[in-house]
Amino acid sequence: MTEQPNGKVTIDGREFAVSDLSQDALNQLSSMTVVDRKIGELQQQIAIYQTARNAYAQALAAALPKD
């Protein structure tokens, strides 16, 4: 889904004028937008956590007894 500044939205490769969408379609579009935003936020958080985990793993490896 891609919202365009000209009042159109592209869904599954098809372009629609937002003004032509039913109220139900607008509600679903709004919900999808909220969910897409939240997914993006979660992906950013996961990247932060993965970076921290990698740092902990490196610190752990350095703290282990040497052979």
DSSP reduced 3-state for 13: coil
Q: Where are the domains of the chain?
A: 2-63
**What's the rounded Cα separation, in Å, for the pair 63 and 58?**
9
pLDDT at residue number 6 = 78
Half-sphere exposure of 36 (CA within 13 A, CB side): 9
Backbone angles phi, psi at 17, to 5 degrees: -75, 130
> Mind listing the pLDDT tens digit of every residue in the chain (67 residues)?
776 667 899 999 999 999 999 999 999 999 999 999 999 999 999 999 999 999 999 999 999 999 8
Tell me which residue of 40, 41, 38, 2 sits closest to 18, measured CA to CA: 2
